[in-house]
Every structure is written in C-alpha cells, then in structure tokens.
Structure 1
C-alpha cells in the first residue's frame, strides 16, 4: 500500500514522459536518428519499452522533446507524438535531475530551419491551485498569440507550425507555474504529415 501522507515539497524539477510513433516501416531508424541528432546532455534520459522520460530544467525538457519530434517529422513520414509534462508537488527526487546546468537550450540551432505544419491537442492541469478554470481559460487564450486555436472535446486543438506550437506550450506551462500552481501537468498529442492534413493546414 502506498503512503498517502508523503510530504509535499517545493521542486523546480520538470519532466516529460513521451512516445513518438512514425507510421513507417523504417520507424526504428527514424526514432534512433531523431535521438542521435538531439543533444540531450543537459537532461536525464531513460527509455524503456513504453516511453522515454526526460528530467531536468523546464527549458531543456521542452528543447529536447521539440527537437526529437522535429527531427522525426522532418523525414516526411506521418509521425504521432504524445507527451505528459509535469513540474512541482509532490516533487521529484533530486538524483540525476541535471539542475546545475545553465539555461541555454542546446538544440535551437539544429532545428531553427525546420518548418513543419502540425495538428495538436493539449490539456492543462494546474493542480493544487485555486481558480484553476480561470487559469486554464487564460492560457488557452494566450495560445492564440502563437497558433490557430479551436475547442475540442476534453482538450484544445492547435494548428500551425510545430516550433510555434512548442513555443506556445512552453510559455503557457511556465505562466501556469508562475501563477502559483504547486503541481502543473500538461498532456500533448501532435500529428505531423498526416494524410488527412489538407494543404491549407486544416484536417478534413
């Protein structure tokens, strides 16, 4: 039986657990190449038979996950990406957290010229706060600065360039943390190069 009385301590350790699925017979090489092209030296990384986990500073968590996705999507194959981002209470173990690194992202240069239309959905969960729905609505509105935003069941849909979407996701996640959420969680699903994407950037 798990301990229900664990201490809730302040933690700046961020993490993401993600899966990437290239719809291709070459999915193994696509995933391996994307990982090899991404500099992960400022985060903790562990891959098992279900997901890959990265831990460290929030700026590097988004930098690494964005780069891995973009490198895979740049092959032109249909790629699906799912991730859960988390920061805060009930905290995280300090070991292997890479929190002593600086804040300079390592993959900006390698992905700056990759233009990739994607469709995405995200859900934001500011746990441990007060008026959480106000926080969610405010951040959905803030996403409109970066990409096209539309409602969807149980989530919010985003359409636009992948770099813009990741930039917006990082900003709204950070803003949620700064508004006092003691534990912030975000789930994200992204699709690139889907056969259902029209040329104008909308789904059929």
Structure 2
C-alpha cells in the first residue's frame, strides 16, 4: 500500500500481483481484474501488477476482491501484496479520494472468501525507535483475529480464511494509519498449495 499526505490529502495504495499456477493463467488474472469493483479506488494494471490507490479501507477492499475473484477450487494461486503508507517518494496524484469507506467488494468477499489461505507477511514502520513494540502489537492483533500467527525467519506465518486475512489487513492499516507516518506491509498469500499435501 502506498500512502502520502500532501496538502492535507491522505493517499493509500496497494500493489498486487497474482500468480495462478495453471496454463491459462493470463485469462484467470484478467478475469479477476475485470470482476473486481474499482469504483472506490484509482486503478492501474501494468506488466507486473495492479495498483489501487485511495482511501485505505477501499484499497484493502479492492485487493481482497482481486484475490477472491481469482480463486477456484483446483488452482494453486499465490498473491503478492505490498501495502505502504507515507512513502516520502510518493506523489499526490493518481488516486481516488472520497473520504468515505465504501468497500464495494465487501459482499463478494464475505460470500466467496471462506476458503482457507496461508500467508507470510512482514510489517515495517519507519522513523520510530519503538518499532519492535509496534510489530509485536501487529502480531497480537493477528492472534486476536484467529489467524494463528507463527514466528519464522524474517516474517510471520498466518492461517485462516481469505475473508479473515484481508479483514486483518484492514485492521492493522487502521491501527497504524494515524500514529505511523510511514509503514509498509509485505504479504504473500497462498491457496491450494501442493506442498500442504506433503506435510
């Protein structure tokens, strides 16, 4: 997620990439991009990923919609999401700001997002001496959300449903938004991985 406060304007964004492990991957990605309701965000799809920018809650909603719309029961799907707020190099443009938390994909996420996912993520906050305490609080929120956080080298593992996971992302961005001038969340979300059958 990328965010910037310029002249009192608060912009949040996410860069999301989908990787369906199937022959017709391009069709699955493009179908999901089209199916996701982007009426509450600014959108751009490029060679690598899709970017959504606007109000934080609406950006998380679009990212969740993108992943849920790409899901099917038989495909190993991976999503890469970079969330950030307050990057000094960000710009004030390329955004859709209503000041309202609209979440137009919420119904689809709740109806289709009950499938189990696995996630690895890292939270970074910049310009604060107490960053480790803030990371611990972010992980505590995951535990409270029922996502079974497990510490690993350089990241934390989470397990739950897609709807739970993205609701948690919405929660931690809301938690961090006001007190932290610059933060980044890097997340990899996986579903239907064949590696699970080997465990």
**TM-score normalized by structure 2?**
0.89
- Alignment pair present for 1:25 and 2:23: yes
Q: How many aligned positions are there? A: 193
Counterpart residue number, 2:186: 187
Counterpart residue number, 1:51: 49
CA distance in 1, matches of 2:73, 2:110: 16
Does the residue aligned with 1:148 lie in a helix, a strand or coil? coil
Q: 1:25 to 1:193 in 2, by over 3 A?
A: same
Instruction: Give 1:197 shift.
Output: 2.4
CA distance in 2, matches of 1:93, 1:172: 23
Q: 1:71 to 1:154 in 2, by over 3 A?
A: same
CA distance in 1, matches of 2:88, 2:7: 6
- Alignment pair present for 1:158 and 2:158: yes
Equivalent pair of 2:119/2:188 in contact (CA under 8 Å):
yes
Gapped runs of 5+ residues in structure 1? 1-7
Q: 1:91 to 1:14 in 2, by over 3 A?
A: farther
- Alignment pair present for 1:35 and 2:38: no
CA distance in 2, matches of 1:11, 1:32: 31
Residue pairs, 1:49-198, within 5 angstroms: 49-90=47-88, 92-100=90-98, 102-114=100-112, 115-146=114-145, 147-178=147-178, 180-198=179-197
Instruction: Give 1:181 shift.
Output: 1.3
User: Larger C-alpha radius of gyration, 1 or 2?
Assistant: 1
Q: Deviations over 1:29-59 (max 9, x none)?
A: 1111111211012111111112221111111
Instruction: Give 1:91 shift.
Output: 6.3
CA distance in 2, matches of 1:26, 1:19: 16
Does the residue aligned with 2:180 lie in a helix, a strand or coil? coil
The equivalent position to 2:13 in structure 1, one of 2, 9, 15, is: 15
39-48 or 184-193: which moved more?
39-48
CA distance in 1, matches of 2:73, 2:188: 19
CA distance in 2, matches of 1:33, 1:52: 13
Q: Deviations over 1:95-134 (max 9, x none)?
A: 2311125212101112322211011011001112230100
Equivalent pair of 2:127/2:182 in contact (CA under 8 Å):
yes
RMSD of the alignment, in Å? 2.0
Comparing both structures, which one devotes a greater share of its residues to helix?
2
Gapped runs of 5+ residues in structure 2? 1-5
Counterpart residue number, 2:3: none
